[in-house]
Structure 1
């Protein structure tokens, strides 16, 4: 079985998770950024990673995800929101829609540092927008997000994708 990890990362969060997953997968395997990723047809299992932008996978990951058809895949992503929030659930739903026509074996989502430029924009240009203005609750969530992905997040991603690769290879059942 040949595996491929494809990801996009703005602040380095998703890249950290991608590297952890890549290191955990058995050979043969490859890893690429979404903009440089090869045709997925030569791979049996794909780990597809993204950072959340506007409630869905960022543009370069989304474009690549839409090219994948008929594969066994695992999704992973990072976002500033809490991974068990309604927002996170909606983001995963939208990511699943991008990979219709594939067998999704599992998903992983964790918090990650938000781009400081976006935080600055929330504090200035979006200060009157009730959905994006900087509130004390939002500031606390962003401060927590800046601590991730942490060792536990990376270990959880590793553990899940080891299992998903075994499922993809037919070594264990789902």
Structure 2
């Protein structure tokens, strides 16, 4: 089995997960590691990583997934907002919809990821003018929680995810 680990990473969070996942794969069978690239199509099993953009993946990942045929695909990603498994599952469901019918979606893994500081500043400005200050404060609190991710627990979960995928695809 030939493997590829590709990612689209806006802040570096997803790249960190990709590195952890790649370490779990048999090195001699990894045909591609890196950002979204057509070279990943050489693989039989593709680990495709993305950052969450408005509740979905980035356009380059949408395009890549939509042009794969006959592959096994495992998705992984990071999301600044959220933190609940339900929300993560809804993102994975939206992204997996871009996978063609002749491919096999194996499974997905997501964790929270830190966001750029400019987003917190935007939330702070919103707090001053917002009618719903509680909602904006929740957004700030989520930002602060996300700033600690991905963390060691997330990396351990990503390793386990990769190991489970390896066992299921042999």
* Smaller-chain TM-score bracket: 0.7 to 0.9
Matching of residue 104 in structure 1 with residue 67 in structure 2: no
Matches within 5 A, 1:1-20: 1-20=1-20
> Residue in 2 aligned with 1:33?
35
Partner Cα distance (1:105, 1:83) in 2: 22
**Count of residue correspondences:** 165
The answer to whether the 8 A contact 1:45-1:165 is kept is no
Partner Cα distance (1:148, 1:134) in 2: 22
Q: Which moved more, 1:61-70 or 1:49-58?
A: 61-70
Partner Cα distance (2:107, 2:88) in 1: 15
Unaligned runs of 5+ in 2: none
Unaligned runs of 5+ in 1: none
Deviation at 1:89, TM superposition (A): 2.8
Partner Cα distance (2:90, 2:116) in 1: 21
> Residue in 1 aligned with 2:118?
117
Deviation at 1:71, TM superposition (A): 0.9
Deviation at 1:76, TM superposition (A): 0.2
> Residue in 1 aligned with 2:146?
145
SS of corresponding position for 1:61: helix
The answer to whether the 8 A contact 2:7-2:35 is kept is yes
Deviation at 1:86, TM superposition (A): 4.3
Matching of residue 94 in structure 1 with residue 94 in structure 2: yes
Deviation at 1:124, TM superposition (A): 4.1
Deviation at 1:116, TM superposition (A): 2.4
Structure 1 residues 92-121: Cα deviation after superposition (integer angstroms, max 9, x where no partner)? 111010113221111100000012233334
The answer to whether the 8 A contact 2:5-2:46 is kept is yes
Structure 1 residues 19-64: Cα deviation after superposition (integer angstroms, max 9, x where no partner)? 0001111132120201xx1244421110000000011001222221
Partner Cα distance (1:115, 1:66) in 2: 29
